[in-house]
Structure 1
Amino acid sequence: MKDLAFLIADVWMIFVGYYFGLKLIRGYGNYLLGIEWMIVATSGSNFLLWSLLGGDTDSVLYDFAYFFDAFSRSVGITLILILGLMAVTHRYKPTVAVDIGVFGLAVAGGIYLRQFHDGTLHIVPATFYVVANLLTALFLMYFTKRLWGIGSKQLAAWTVVVTVAASTVAITYDFFPLPFDDENRTIFYTAALATWGAQGFIYYVAYRAMHNHNMAAVGTNEEPSATIRTS
């Protein structure tokens, strides 16, 4: 039963990442969020394949799993998420150089930080992950306020729920392993995958709501938000 729940949670996250990632790119031209969503889905696909093939820790898929994990926890669902959402909060339009730069930073972070996934608590990287998550959560609270301000109160509430859930996962991940979990942390990863999938879905719907509000505001000559340009 636990294994089935894990598979469902992983497939859910994979679907959300690929489906809504593609919609973010095709529908809104947001490559930061779209590519990151699909990287999360690719991470889930790799994790699923690794699990189905027996979960061998000597497999290259195991190495890829922790690279993707470090990629998103360090820069992907932190800095890239913030910059991507700023498209609808501040009409931020990153240059190609910025897009390449932040993903390059995420790759570097993934390559460097994956070495610390060895079953031992490494205080510095573990603390970094939590701090990065909580700083991102602060921006997401601002994003929630903006949602509330345009009348999307239910969506704002769901944004708070998934953000708090994701922060709980981030804090639990390294510092508080569940004492009743198995050696593969099946229960934890099931909850984490389900939460990350919910994040991808809710943040997409919230992004769409903000985008639609901004477009309507432009149509009525209102100023939807400040504009930040990059050179």
Structure 2
Amino acid sequence: MEVKEVLALLSSVFLITCGVVYGLKYVRIRKNYLLGFEWLIVAFSASNLLLFLVTGFKVGYSISFFLDAFSRAFGVPIVATLGLMAVTHNYRPSFTKDIMIFAVTFAATFVLVLADFVKGLLPYYYLFMWACYTLYLCYFTWRLLRAGESMHALLNTVTTAAALAVAVVYDFLPIPGDEDKMEFMIYALTVWGCQIVQQYYAYGALERTTTASSRPLVMAR
């Protein structure tokens, strides 16, 4: 087994660990089911990718392919954004609405994956959606700066830029000599894992400052 193959396996395990650990933290501690379930879906996708890499099990690849399409098209740009809006816009939908959001976005993913007439446009759609997500993260960074969380703002900027690079390279700028996509996979899985971890702590920092700033208003009433 080559070094890059080992690194690909390790990066898969890293993303799985980040998705499971912080997905459960969002669910159990933050009570944010949109972010929690989305990162658990990412972990499940990476688990199936790991299964394919180790055993060649094609069903695992098919599951990972579909869930990757879901996360790129709707899961991260829409679901994760709505989840982060809990601390930027106090948007906290009911559990029923959370389920409806996932149901609609999963149904839309089936259409994207199965409809032949959109296949040629999919790379552009994925990039457009990630660009929209990046714009929101720029706003998220500004909120962190305004809250005095400069270190979280810096780390959010770094992971946001790195993730945008993944989105661009994914379909438009293949790495020279990376015919098997292993080098790209190592970079992408590592970046996504780091972004999950970084966002969790940035979310917590913004949540704390928002709660603290609202206390004087409550006392004044």
**Same fold per superposition (TM over 0.5):** yes
Over residues 114-165 of structure 1, what are the superposed CA-to-partner deviations in whole Å (9 max), with x where a residue is unaligned?
3589xxxx54111000000001111110000000111111110111111111
Match runs of 1:95-106 below 5 Å: 95-106=94-105
Question: TM-score when scaled to structure 1?
Answer: 0.88
How far, CA to CA, are the matches of 1:2 and 1:156 in structure 2? 32
Per the alignment, residue 207 of structure 1 pairs with 203
Unpaired runs of at least 5, structure 1: 223-231
SS in 2 for 1:133: helix
Asked whether the equivalents of residues 66 and 114 of structure 1 are also in contact (C-alpha less than 8 Å), the reply is: no
Please state how far the C-alpha of 1:113 moved relative to its aligned partner: 3.0
Counterpart Cα distance in 1 of 2:63 and 2:114: 11
- Tell me the alpha carbon deviations over residues 56-97 of structure 1, each in whole angstroms, 9 at most, x when there is no partner: 5xx211211110111100111110111001100111111334
Q: Which residue of 2 aligns with 1:229?
A: none
1:185 aligns with 2:187: no
Moved over 4 A (4+): none
What runs of 5+ residues in structure 2 fail to find an aligned partner? none
Q: Distance in 2 between matches of 1:132 and 1:196?
A: 16
> Aligned letter for 2:43?
A
Match of 2:15 in 1: 13
Contact 2:22/2:197 (<8 A) preserved? yes
Q: Number of paired residues?
A: 215
Aligned partners of 1:8, 1:136: CA distance in 2, in Å? Answer: 27
The 1:190/1:135 distance shift into structure 2, 3 A limit, reads same
Aligned position for 1:147:
144
Give secondary structure in 2 for the equivalent of 1:220. helix
Structure 1 stretch displaced more, 29-38 or 103-112: 103-112
Match of 1:45, SS? helix
Which residue of structure 2 lines up, in the alignment, with residue 228 of structure 1?
none
Structure number having the greater helix percentage? 2
Once the two structures are superposed, the pairs formed by residues 56-71 of structure 1 within 5 Å of their partners are 59-71=58-70
| Aligned position for 1:226 | none
What is the alpha-carbon distance in structure 1 between the residues aligned to residue 18 and residue 120 of structure 2? 32
RMSD of equivalent CA atoms? 1.8
For residues 168 and 113 of structure 2, the distance between their equivalents in structure 1, rounded to whole angstroms, comes to 18
Render the CA deviation track for 1:33-61: whole Å, top value 9, x for unaligned: 0000110111111110111003x5xx211
Q: Which amino acid aligns with 1:39?
A: I
Q: State the shift of 1:112 in Å.
A: 2.9
Q: Distance in 1 between matches of 2:108 and 2:53?
A: 24
Matching residue of 1:24 = 26
> 2:4 matched to which residue of 1?
2
Task: Report the CA distance shift for 1:209/1:192 in structure 2 as closer, same or farther (over 3 A).
Answer: same
Report the residue type matching 1:2 in the other structure: K
Structure 2 matches for 1:42-191, cutoff 5 A?
42-54=44-56, 59-115=58-114, 122-182=119-179, 184-191=180-187
TM-superposed deviation, 1:213: 1.0
